[in-house]
Amino acid sequence: MKVKRQSKIVELIRDNDIETQDQLVEMLNAEGFNVTQATVSRDLRELRLTKVASENGGQKYALLRSDDVQVSERLARVFRDGVISMDFAQNIIVIKTLNGTAMAVAAALDSMGNSEVMGTIAGDDTIFCVVKTEQKAIKLMERLKMQ
C-alpha cells in the first residue's frame, strides 16, 4: 500500500501545483487513500520531495532532480520493490512493475541521473525507457538489476 500511495504522490506532484501538505492529503483522500498529514510528511521526506518556486510566485512540491545528487535509499528501495521484470528490444528497456507503481519506479529511475537515458514513459504497470544505443541499454539494464 505504501508503494502505491507514494507512486500516487509522485503522480499528483507532477500533474498539479501542490503548495501544502494539507492539499496533498485532500487529493490522496479523494483518490481513495486514507492518509493523515503525518503520513504525507514522512512520504515527502522519504521520496526526497521539496518545495520549489512555482510560476505564480508561490511554492510547490517537486522531485529533487540533479545529476550531482545520489538517489536516496528510499527511491532505490521503491525501484527494487516495484520492479517485477526487465527486458529490452534494441534501445528500449521495458520494465514491468507491480500494479500502480510504474510512476514511482520511473521517478526513481529518472532520479538516478543515467546520462544514457533519453527519456521514460510510465503507465500503470509498465515503463518504457529509451536509451541512446542498444549497447548502452544492455549495460544500463545490467546495472539496474544490481540495484
pLDDT at 71: 47
Task: Check if 2-63 and 78-145 are the same fold.
Answer: no
Average pLDDT over residues 72-88: 85
Q: Which three cell numbers stand for residue 44?
A: 515527502
CB–CB of 18/60 below 8 Å? yes
Contact 101, 2 (CB under 8 A): no
pLDDT of residue 129: 96
Question: pTM higher than 0.75, yes or no?
Answer: no
Average pLDDT over residues 110-124: 87
The domain ranges of the chain are 2-63, 78-145
Among residues of the chain, what percentage have pLDDT more than 70?
93
Instruction: Tell me if the domain spanning 78-145 has CATH number 3.10.510.20.
Output: no
Q: What region, left, alpha or beta, does residue 57 occupy, with left being phi > 0 and alpha being psi -120 to 50 degrees?
A: left
Q: Work out the pLDDT band at 21, boundaries 50, 70, 90.
A: very high
Minimum mean pLDDT range among 38-52, 53-67, 80-94: 53-67
At residue 65 the predicted structure's pLDDT band, cuts being 50, 70 and 90, is low
CA separation for the pair 111, 90 (Å, rounded): 23
Mean pLDDT of 20-46: 93
- 88-111 per-position pLDDT tens digit: 999 999 999 999 999 989 988 887
Cell numbers describing residue 146 = 544490481
CATH number of 2-63: 1.10.10.10
Kindly report the number of other CB atoms within 10 A of residue 123's CB atom. 11
- The pLDDT value recorded for residue 72 is 59
Neighbouring-strand partners of residue 83: 97
The DSSP letter of residue 71 is P
- For 7-18, what is each residue's pLDDT tens digit? 899 889 888 889
Give the CA diameter of the chain.
46
